[in-house]
Amino acid sequence: MARYQLSYGDDDDDDDSSSEIEASQNSEIPSGYPSETTPSHSPSNPDITSAKQLPQHTCTCTCTCTCTCTLDLLLLQTSLLTESNSDQTARLLALYTLYRESRDERKTNTASLQKLTHALEKMMDSITWYRELIDTQEREISEAETNRREAEKKSQEMAEKIENLEQEMEQWRILWEESERGAGGL
């Protein structure tokens, strides 16, 4: 509900010249916005701002609430350790949202600082988890590359052996044909 205060005429008029009007709007102002009270205006130039002209608050949280995300709720969403990439990614996104909203609120009280510290610790845990995952994957890739090189080397050795056997078989075939011709010519 928005409040408008309209004033008509001079200040010397009787008290009935100033009245306060409460106007209901079709859209509600989100709870984060203060209620609107406009200053006195002259009847020739009423400069009344309606609630519809206020910027609309859009929810940037990762949950499905209607803008009731709090630091506690986001922190609760990130409290469980998980072992999958998608869970860790979702966890980092929730932590980033927590960090961003905490930063935007500009609170300097102890509880807010403790929550930020806790969020940063969780982010560090996630970063450590990702680093370990990356190290493990790099090690596995290195081992796979080493195994591939060894397999290529063995494959090349086998190809050389097969080629040598084919050459030896060809020599035996030639010798056999020559011995057949020599035996037939005697």
Which tens digits make up the pLDDT trace of 122-149? 999 999 999 999 999 999 999 999 999 9
Instruction: Give 6-56 pLDDT, tens digit per residue.
Output: 444 444 444 444 443 333 334 444 444 444 444 444 444 444 433 334 334
pTM of the model: 0.34
Q: Are strands 18-23 and 2-7 parallel, antiparallel or unpaired?
A: antiparallel
**Quick one: pLDDT at residue 108?**
59
pLDDT at 149: 96
Q: Of 40, 32, 33, 36, which Cα lies nearest the Cα of 23?
A: 36
Report the mean per-residue pLDDT for the chain: 68
